[in-house]
Amino acid sequence: MELNAQNQPGGKVLVAYFSWSGNARVLAGQIAEEASNQGFGADLFEIKTATAYPDAYNECIEAAKQEQNSNARPALSGGANLAANMAQYGTVVLCYPNWWGTLPMGVFTFLEAYDFAGKTIYPLVTHGGSRFGRSLDDIKKLCPRAVIGEGLSVSAYGTNPKDAAKVTAPNRDVTAWLKKVLP
C-alpha cells in the first residue's frame, strides 16, 4: 500500500520509535526528515518507558526477558499530546529493536494505548540477525483494524550496545524503502 495525501488524513506521518541502543532513534530521525522532504508532514515521537532499562546490555536483556515472560505492559512516559492528536495521522512508521523475537513490551503498551483503526503502519525493525521475528504477527494482533504495510529490517549486528549506534544515517536501505512506501 502506498501513501499519498489523498488517501491519508492530512497527509501527516507519525514516526514513532523505541530505542535503547540508539539504532532505532537514528533511523527514525532519518525517516522523519526524508518524509518531510517528500512533502509529508512528519512528526517524531519517542516511545519511552517510565522506568528506564539498565544501561548494561546483559541486565537490559534480562529485564526485557522478564517483562516478556510475564506479558508485562510497562508504563510509558509522555504521550498526552499524542493522544489528543492521533487522529491527524493516517500513517505510522513504527521503529523498534527486536527483543527476544518480537517488539519490546513498551511498544506493546504503546500500540494498545491508541486506536490505529484505518491507519497504515509501516514497521522498521533493527536486529542482530533475527529480522522481524514474530513482531509483524504481534502488530497485527495488537492493531487488527490497521493496515500493516511493507516493513524493513535493518541489521545492527556487531553493535556494542550503548556505545555509538551501529547504524548510521542516511541509510540507503531506508531511503529506498521510503521511496516505495511514501512515493
Domain-by-domain residue ranges, the chain? Answer: 14-181
More confident residue, 4 or 87: 87
Q: What is the mean pLDDT of residues 63-84?
A: 87
Nine cell digits for residue 27? 533511523
The DSSP line for 21-78 is SSHHHHHHHHHHHHHHHTT-EEEEEE-EESSPPPSSHHHHHHHHHHHHHTT----EE-
Q: What's residue 138's pLDDT?
A: 97
pLDDT for residue 70 is more than 90 = yes
Q: How far apart are CA 45 and CA 83, in angstroms?
A: 11
pLDDT tens across 78-97, in order? Answer: 776 676 688 889 999 999 99
Q: What's residue 78's pLDDT?
A: 78
Q: What's residue 4's pLDDT?
A: 39
pLDDT band for position 122 (cuts 50, 70, 90): very high
Distances (CA, A) of 93 to 47, 96, 160: 12, 10, 26
Closest CA to 13 of 23, 5, 22, 21: 5
pLDDT band for position 167 (cuts 50, 70, 90): confident
Domain spanning 14-181, CATH class: alpha beta
Cα-Cα-Cα-Cα dihedral of 162, 164, 165, 166, to 10°?
-110
pLDDT band for position 2 (cuts 50, 70, 90): very low
